[in-house]
C-alpha cells in the first residue's frame, strides 16, 4: 500500500478478477477479525439481499445491520490498477505498507502482513481440531 492508502493489484490478480473489475467493489470491516473484506459488487448484492430480509423491528437485527454496514465504502479500481482504501478502514485493520490479500471463498480479506502472519501462526495449533469439527462430521452420502 502506498502512502495515500492505495492498494496496488498485481497484473495476475487483476487478471483473476477481470470479470468483476468493471463493477467495482465494497470494502468493509470484518466481523470476526481485524482485517477488511473486499466484496465484488455482485457478492455484495447477494449479501445485502440476505440482510434486507431481516426484520428491522427486532432490535437484535437492527443492531446487527448497523454494525455489519458500519464503515462500508464503495471502491473502484483506477486505471493504474489501484484501489483507494479509506483512512478509517486502514486504521481499523491496522494496515501498513505490506499487505496480504487472502481469498475467503467469494470475498477477499485485506490484512496487514504482520497481523495476518500472527493470526495464521496462532491458528495452526487449533486448525486440525477445527477442520475435524467443521468438515469431519459430514455423512458420506452428503459428499456425493
**pTM as predicted:** 0.84
Residue 108 exposed, middle or buried by CB count within 10 Å (0-12, 13-18, 19+): buried
Contact 101, 16 (CB under 8 A): no
Grid coordinates in use for 108?
477477499
> What's the confidence (pLDDT) of residue 144?
47
Summarize the confidence of residues 29-57 as an average pLDDT. 95
Beta-carbon count within 10 A of 109 CB: 17
The rounded percent of the chain whose pLDDT value lies above 90 is 62
- pLDDT at residue 140 tops 70: no
Cα–Cα distance measured from residue 29 to residue 122, given in angstroms and rounded to the nearest whole number? 21
- pLDDT at residue 59 tops 60: yes
- Residues in contact with 83: Cβ distance below 8 Å, sequence separation at least 6, in sequence order: 6, 7, 9, 25, 27, 38, 75, 76, 77
Q: For the domain 6-113, what is the CATH superfamily, name and number?
A: Transcriptional regulator MraZ domain (3.40.1550.20)
What is the Cα Rg of the chain in Å? 17
- pLDDT at residue 110 tops 70: yes
> What's the confidence (pLDDT) of residue 49?
96
Summarize the confidence of residues 7-34 as an average pLDDT. 89
Tens digit of each residue's pLDDT (9 = 90 or more) over 22-39: 899 999 999 889 999 999
Tens digit of each residue's pLDDT (9 = 90 or more) over 63-87: 999 999 998 999 999 988 899 999 9
- pLDDT at residue 92 tops 60: yes
Amino acid at each position: 500500500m502506498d502512502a495515500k492508502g492505495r492498494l496496488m493489484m498485481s497484473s495476475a490478480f487483476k487478471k483473476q478478477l477481470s470479470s468483476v473489475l468493471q463493477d467495482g467493489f465494497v470494502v468493509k470491516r470484518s466481523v470476526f477479525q481485524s482485517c477488511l473484506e473486499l466484496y465484488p459488487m455482485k457478492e455484495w448484492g447477494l449479501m445485502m439481499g440476505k440482510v434486507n430480509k431481516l426484520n428491522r423491528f427486532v432490535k437484535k437485527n437492527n443492531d446487527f445491520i448497523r454494525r455489519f454496514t458500519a464503515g462500508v465504502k464503495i471502491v473502484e479500481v483506477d486505471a493504474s490498477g489501484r484501489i483507494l482504501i479509506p483512512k478509517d478502514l486502514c486504521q481499523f485493520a491496522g494496515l501498513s505498507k505490506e499487505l496480504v490479500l487472502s481469498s475467503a471463498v467469494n470475498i477477499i480479506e485485506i490484512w496487514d502482513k504482520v497481523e495476518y502472519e500472527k493470526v495464521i501462526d496462532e491458528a495452526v495449533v487449533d486448525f486440525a481440531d477445527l477442520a475435524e469439527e467443521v468438515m469431519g462430521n459430514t455423512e458420506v452420502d452428503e459428499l456425493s
